[in-house]
Amino acid sequence: MKLQESAENYLEAIYVLCQEKGSVRSIDVAHYMGFSKPSISRAVGLLRDNGFVAIDQNGLLALTEAGLKTAQSVYERHTVLTDWLVSIGVKRETAAQDACRIEHVISRESFEKLKEHLREHHNT
């Protein structure tokens, strides 16, 4: 199932916050993304309904296996693209903004070839 860019961004935000804080609530995602609590609640509800997020009785969010897989993939694309853009001279803030847009449209084939190229030419 191909998710919309916004859904991928929510999953990535939940993933990053879980890594940083351990437990995450909708309000944490709202603050992190700069959106209103109602917007986040609606998005999280849709992600829950589609099997990407679970919400416990205390309102804590957890990524399901499908949500985690998607979030990790988006996060990897984001970090690799950001680092690559920085390595060619783009300011980190600009690189992160551009990576956030590119990460949603780059094909799997192009991304894998980019990673392969970086490994071969940057010993990473």
- Give the span between the Cα atoms of 82 and 79, in whole angstroms: 5
Q: Tens digits of per-residue pLDDT, 93-120?
A: 999 999 989 988 999 999 999 999 888 8
**Helix 5-21 with 65-87: angle, nearest 10 deg:** 90
- CATH code given to domain 5-69: 1.10.10.10
pTM: 0.86
**CATH number of 75-122: 1.10.60, 3.40.50, 1.10.1660, 3.30.450?**
1.10.60
Instruction: Determine which of 2-11, 12-21, 43-52 has the lowest per-residue pLDDT on average.
Output: 2-11
User: What is the pLDDT at residue 124?
Assistant: 47
The rounded distance, in Å, linking the Cα atoms of 75 and 36 is 23
Tally of CB atoms within 10 A around 39: 15
pLDDT at 118: 87
Domain boundaries, the chain: 5-69, 75-122
* Secondary structure letter of residue 113 according to DSSP: H
pLDDT tens digit sequence for 32-80: 999 988 889 899 999 999 999 999 999 999 999 999 999 999 999 999 9
